[in-house]
Structure 1
Amino acid sequence: MKNRNVLSEEDKIPALLEEAGDWIKLHLNQPECYLRLTEERLEVLDAITEKPVQWFPYLLIRRSN
């Protein structure tokens, strides 16, 4: 079964993922966007079109002690 949520390279915002202890920091290189949480994933949306330009499945937000 194909995943219809896979985005092409043209749709992705350049970003830097940085591991910092129990966290992963997401540094976006494009200010005209915002984040949306859905039941399945975290989406980065273009502020004008509201189209998802990147998404991240819920895997691990923070490790519990």
Structure 2
Amino acid sequence: MGARFLELSEVAAELAVSDSQVYHMVRSGELPAIKIGGRGQWRVERVKLEEYIARKYTETADWVRTNPLTDK
């Protein structure tokens, strides 16, 4: 079993995006995270990351349904 909490760089690696993209997702509230420690480092709970991924699959499927490909 993996660690309960992930650093933003670990989340970025899992999602194959940049660290700054993950930071923006956290700061905007799109991806739930907590600030810990005296230096206020961000951590994302693994279960919250998995919920985020599942939500994105649903959102993407909805978008695909409402934006079908058409041959023109």
TM over 0.5: no
Normalised by the length of structure 1, the TM-score is 0.29
Greater gyration radius = 2
Higher relative contact order, structure no. (Cα contacts within 8 Å, ≥ 6 residues apart): 2
Q: Higher helix share goes to which structure?
A: 2
Normalised by the length of structure 2, the TM-score is 0.28
Q: Higher strand share goes to which structure?
A: 1
